[in-house]
Amino acid sequence: MQFISKPYASWQGATKMTEMKGKICIVTGSNSGIGRETALALAKMDATVVMVVRNRERGEKARLEIAGESGNDATCVMICDVSSMDSVRQFGKEFRDAYRGLDVLINNAGAFTGKRQVTVDGFERTLAVNYLGPFLLTYELLFLLKSSAPSRIINVGSGMASSGKIAFDDLQYENEYSGMKAYANSKLMLTMYTYELARRLEGSGVTANVVEPGFVATNLGRNSGSLLLSLGFKMMRPIQISARKGAETSVYLASAPDVEGVTGKCFAKLQETRTSQLSYDPEMQEHLWNVTVELLGVPRGTITYLDQLHPRDEENPK
């Protein structure tokens, strides 16, 4: 499809964006915060936006608001709890049944918990939402992304990843838990995964990049389970940037012609940026990949991972 550049007035720092009519975009966690602003911006560009949320009522409320603000009725809500791997797999099947292509996948949903929580799968919640869920969701949708190439994967990370570390002997934080460390570590994993995914996707026409949105005023931490942390997040609101500002780089990577083909990079404030030295370690990237596919039970190996991917569910039953 031909890209048509046009000005997008609400942006600061980006002079031209792209009309996205006919492009199918998924934004997870899009009923509030950065995700909602990302979905709104893409809707204003005439994209078909699939808002992936946990709660249908909140999702439908946000969808109606976005449709009203953008004048674009090509938005819909689909349900997926990215902390549940069964929910991710079910969503993947439902999306493949409903759509025969996918141009942009934005893994935006995130979680921060002050106390250790365990998901229905037995995974530590922060790890599940911020890393394992996006990994599996991308796996479930990669065939459609490849068939729609050139297409784009955008993973929303965090500057906190720079302080992250990966303890492979305690990924689930069973021995010692810190909400801040769990969050930073999960975002480091997401960053390293993005780089490894980009390497494995070379030549496919699918790009994968990570975004650091900045210190954004969102609902993150509101339901942390810790009153002290919740109050701390609230007190920091005056120095945080708006969700709309935080969404700018995600929308830029999803739509701008000048990043066509750019992959395996991190972007912040509409520009490429460097991440921690640890995040570029190729041996650790590959080891993390292998550990993750074991945890999730998906096929191991580059060729299997990229090609054995539900081209039609009726022909490839699980």
CA 61 to chain centre: 21
Question: Does residue 183 have an active-site annotation?
Answer: yes
Q: Is the peptide bond before 150 cis (omega within 30 degrees of 0)?
A: yes
Q: How many helices (H) and strands (E) does the chain have?
A: 10, 10
- Going by their DSSP bridges, the two strands 206-211 and 266-268 should be labelled as parallel
Distance CA 276, CA 262 (A): 20
Distance CA 316, CA 276 (A): 40
Distance CA 76, CA 305 (A): 29
Q: Is the Cα dihedral 280, 284, 287, 293 positive or negative?
A: negative
Cα distance from N-terminal residue to C-terminal residue, the chain:
33
Distance CA 231, CA 236 (A): 9
The contacts of residue 277 (CB under 8 Å, 6+ apart) are none
Given 183, 193, 195, 305, the catalytic residue? 183
Tell me how crowded residue 243 is: count the other CB atoms within 10 A of its CB: 20
DSSP 318: -
Distance CA 316, CA 257 (A): 35
Q: Which residues pair with 106 in a beta bridge?
A: 27, 154
Q: Provide the annotated active-site residues.
A: 183
